[in-house]
Amino acid sequence: MIKAAVLGSPISHSLSPALHKRAYEILGVPASYGAIDLTVELAQDFLLRALKEDWTGFSLTMPLKEAIFTMRDEISFEPITEIMRSVNTLFVQDGKFLASSTDRTGFIRLLSDIPKERVAIIGGGGTARAALAALDGEASEIDFLLRSPHRSQALSLIAQKSEVAFYGMDRSLRGYDLVIATVPSGASDEIAESIDFTIPTLCEVLYKPFPTKLLAKARSLGARTLDGIDLLVEQALDQVSLFSAMKFELSPMRVALQRVGREHLR
């Protein structure tokens, strides 16, 4: 039986339990999947206990995506995550947690058919790092709009093929093929107020609030938009496959999980 949960703090808003439960129902797999409010300070002790309690795996959200790298006694990291310094998935393998990023693979699929020669990423946290890892080599130029300049060094290490540059949050978004917003609620509101042109494609990773001011403004000006449900579903597809050890057709499962996610936004 699958025993899994999403970990983070705060966590009450998470739609991951609804998506995962529906996925395992479709697959006909016995499973439990909950939400556990877990701070960084308590995470290491929790994971030590979890290895002895027959857990299958965990989804990670803030603030654990980056903090988890201090817990190397309990966790092995896939090579790409060592470069990214961000993970959103833990699953048990040979008596130890293996850390992966289905945010990265989710971004790869989600953005596969979108023009992305010039990309702007708002923010520099764990989700921004996953987006950069997914786009490295796919985009020629990737510019970051950062609230905290100190994040630029870690981001530079991820980019092996694309040219990256760093700016403040007042950087104009005009001229980009794709804009990805990864900052917390409210952090992009001033950017939304400054836009009076069409962004070809905006990907907003938040689903609460929904829509964000940036997403609503971009839509009103004719942008193609992807939102937090789109990314949440895409990364969940890979987590479900890892936790269930099953391969399945992505398209019908995507449709089913999108339906669940959209219903919760009403």
Question: 3-state class of 254 per DSSP?
Answer: helix
The amino acid occupying position 154 is A
Single out the catalytic residue among 3, 21, 52, 65.
Answer: 65
How far is residue 169's CA from residue 151's CA, in Å, rounded to a whole number? 13
DSSP string, 60-107: E-TTHHHHGGG-TTTEEE-HHHHHHT---EEEEETTEEEEE-HHHHHH
How far is residue 243's CA from residue 28's CA, in Å, rounded to a whole number? 13
How far is residue 243's CA from residue 31's CA, in Å, rounded to a whole number? 10
| Encoded tokens for 207 | 């689903």
Q: Which residues contact 81 (CB under 8 A, 6 or more apart)?
A: 87, 99, 100, 101
- Which of 50, 43, 49, 37 lies closest to 8, judged by CA? 37
Torsion-angle region of 28 (φ positive above 0: left; ψ -120 to 50: alpha; else: beta): left
Give the other-Cβ count within 10 Å of 113's Cβ. Answer: 7
How far is residue 113's CA from residue 92's CA, in Å, rounded to a whole number? 33
Active-site residue flag, 65: yes
Torsion-angle region of 140 (φ positive above 0: left; ψ -120 to 50: alpha; else: beta): alpha
Q: Which residues are catalytic?
A: 65
